[in-house]
Structure 1
Amino acid sequence: MEALKTKYGVVTDYLNLEKYASGNPASLIFTERIEIKTPVGTIIPQYSVDDHGRRILRPITFYDNGNIKKAPLQEAADIETSYGKISTELIIFYDDEVLKKIFPLNGKLSGYWGEKDEYALAKNLELKLPCGTIKAKIINLVFYKNGNIRSITLWPQETVEAKTPLGTMPIRVGISFYEDGSVKSVEPAEPYTVETKIGPISAYDNDPEGIMGDINSLQFSNQGEVTALSTTQNAIILRNEAGGEVKYTPSKKESLCSENVVVTVPLQIEFTSETIRFNHSTSEEYNLSECSFEVIDYEKKTANPFYICN
């Protein structure tokens, strides 16, 4: 096998080499032990399969400038962060080798190895964050280039208490931050009444999209004002100067598990300094100064979504 020169040394045992047009390696699978020194510590990319939770070899990837981009690790390594050392099995860098993202676990979910198995292996992390100290099992952490935390993603089974611009509230899924450390978005774990430009609204998304904590349904400006939220508890009556009236409510859909079960779809609301928008639709955007708004209770007669079908 042809010896491959990389920024981190010469590699002789590897598989599945892919290259950029420049000839630099884009990705490959190591089949020998290689130590790579990075600004956050020495790592050993995965080169063999050693347990039932990691049955396949995953490639390490590089940027075209030769710097490491993404590396699954053979064994967990203690990675240096601004919040202390964190045991990590998968690490991602920016193109200048600055730490971007870490995963404390990097198992393989399959018919024989599922989320419950992976969650059982996860360990609690205690982190002193801008929103307060939290202790929870975490799927991943994302960082800004300055080292400040950008977001955390919690395991679905986890709930934490976090300080937000509107007070301390129970949070699930994740939390994201602005670069200065102020809270950018959270996912309320239960309905939580927040003050908005049109009055108090119960913020809650019963079916948040995805499992990443970068973007959550309750969002704030860096001054702490609510800029977006989802609600299953309230409806909005909008009245314009001409006497017209429009009512926005959460909607309904058929459950994925049963044709006889109907579930609630949250009403989504966004604010700018001058407008309000419903359900991400530009055709449902109104000038705040030209309308009056009434927030009322929504009588929910539907179920929350669930995806474990009998």
Structure 2
Amino acid sequence: MKEVNTKYGGLTDYLNIKMHSSDLPASILLTGYTEFETPYGTLIPQYEVEDLGRKEHKYILFHSNGTVRKVPLQNEQDIETKYGTIASEMLLFYNDGTLKKLFPITGKLSGYWTEENEFALAKDLNLALPSGTITAKAISLGFYKSGIIRSITLWPGEIISANTPAGMIETRTGISFHDEGSVKSLEPLIPTAVETAIGTVEAFDNDPDGVSGDINSLNFDPAGNVSSLYTTSSKVTVTIDSDTEKTYQPTETASLCSDSVKMAVPLKIEFIGNKVRFNQSNDDVYDIAECSFKIEDYVADLKIPCYECA
């Protein structure tokens, strides 16, 4: 088989290669033992599946400049970070070779190998962060190029207590950080009262994305002010003048499982400079200093979204 040259040496045992150009690979499936020398040590990319019930043979991906972009590892390897040594099964890199994201465990979910099986194998990570020490089972950790943690994606069902500008908040799904280490965003476990530029609002998203800890429903700016949130339990009445007011609140939609079951669609509130915007609409933006705001409980007999119909 024709040898493929990379920044990490020649590759001869492979399948299904795709190229960025005539001499730079974009993706490749290795079938033989190979070593990649990186700033994070000698990596052994995955070249075979040891356990057909769990592992999946994954491609190595490269940036267009030849630097590796994604490396699934043959076996768990210890990776040195600013937060200590973390055992990992897959790594993502920026195009300058610095670590972008690591995955402590990367099994193949199937009818024979479930999310619960993966969770049972996951190990608690103890991370000493500027916002406090976090102990959790993580799906992935994201990093800035500086090596500072950018985000933590938590396993479903995993809950941590996060020290935030709004106090300690019980957190699920994910949490992200500014590049100096302060909390940037998180996903509250339950409706949680936070102070904003227009008053106290209960932050909560009943159906968070949950794909990545980088994106969450409660967000803080670097100064610690709430910059945006979702709420399913607060409504806001804006008074523009003595004759004009408008109320914003969560809406309702039918469940995917039953038209008779209603679910909340959260109200999104953003704070942009000295203005507040509702539901990402440029027609619903108000100068905070020129308006008054009344915040009340929004109460409805609504359910958490369900995607498994009985």
TM-score by length of 2: 0.96
Gaps of 5+ in 1: none
CA deviation after TM superposition for structure 1 residue 210, in Å = 3.4
SS at match of 2:137: strand
Q: Post-superposition shift, 1:152? A: 0.5
Distance of 1:270 and 1:241 partners within structure 2 = 22
- 1:205-216 matches, within 5 Å, as 205-216=205-216
Q: Which moved more, 1:153-162 or 1:6-15?
A: 6-15
Structure 2: segments with no counterpart, 5+ residues: none
SS in 2 for 1:117: helix
| Counterpart secondary structure, 2:109 | coil
SS of match in other structure, 1:205:
coil
CA–CA separation in structure 1 for the residues paired with 2:103 and 2:95: 18
In structure 1, distance between residues paired with 2:66 and 2:267:
46
**Structure 1 residue 303: Cα displacement:** 1.3
Partner Cα distance (2:65, 2:267) in 1: 45
Which residue identity lines up with residue 20 of structure 1 in the other structure? H
Specify the code of the residue in structure 2 equivalent to 1:45: P
User: Counterpart amino acid of 1:25?
Assistant: P
In 2, Cα distance between equivalents of 1:79 and 1:2:
32
Cα distance per residue 1:264-300 (max 9 Å; x no partner): 1111100112111111111211221222110011112
Deviation of 1:111 after TM superposition, in Å, equals 3.2
Question: Which whole-Å CA distance do the structure 1 matches of 2:201 and 2:16 have between them?
Answer: 53
Distance 1:136 1:279 in 2: 33
Quote the RMSD (CA, aligned, Å): 1.3
| Partner deviation per Cα, 1:114-137 (whole Å, 9 max, x = no partner) | 222221221111111222111111
Counterpart for residue 279 of structure 1: 279
Q: Is the 8 A contact 1:165 1:183 kept in 2?
A: yes
Determine the structure 2 residue equivalent to 1:187. Answer: 187
Q: Following TM superposition, by how much is the alpha carbon of 1:242 offset from its aligned partner in structure 2, in angstroms?
A: 5.0
Alignment of 1:1-310 (within 5 A): 1-310=1-310
Task: Report if aligned partners of 2:201, 2:295 keep a CA contact under 8 Å in 1.
Answer: yes
* C-alpha contact 2:148 2:179 (8 A) present in aligned 1: yes
Given residue 177 of structure 1, which amino acid in structure 2 is its aligned partner? F
**Which amino acid counterpart does residue 82 of structure 1 have in structure 2?**
K
1:60 aligned partner, one-letter code: I
CA distance in 1, matches of 2:106, 2:219: 29
For 2:119, what is the secondary structure of its paired residue? helix
Percent same amino acid among aligned pairs? 51
Report the residue type matching 2:78 in the other structure. D
User: What is the CA–CA distance in structure 2 between the aligned matches of 1:176 and 1:294, rounded to whole Å?
Assistant: 30
Q: Distance in 1 between matches of 2:180 and 2:61?
A: 30
**One-letter amino acid of the counterpart of residue 248, structure 2:** Y
DSSP-derived class of the 1:179 partner:
coil
Counterparts of 2:53 and 2:289 in 1: how far apart (Å)? 57
* Alpha-carbon distance in 1 for matches of 2:111, 2:243: 58
Report if aligned partners of 1:53, 1:107 keep a CA contact under 8 Å in 2.
no
Tell me which amino acid in the other structure corresponds to 2:229.
Answer: L
Alpha-carbon distance in 2 for matches of 1:185, 1:10: 43
Decide whether the 8 Å contact of 2:200 with 2:295 is kept in 1.
yes
Per-residue displacement from partner, 1:53-85 (whole Å, max 9, x unpaired)? 445421101122222110111101101111011
Aligned pairs, number: 310
Distance 1:164 1:48 in 2: 43
Pairwise CA distance, 1:204: 1.1
Q: Distance in 2 between matches of 1:194 and 1:75?
A: 44
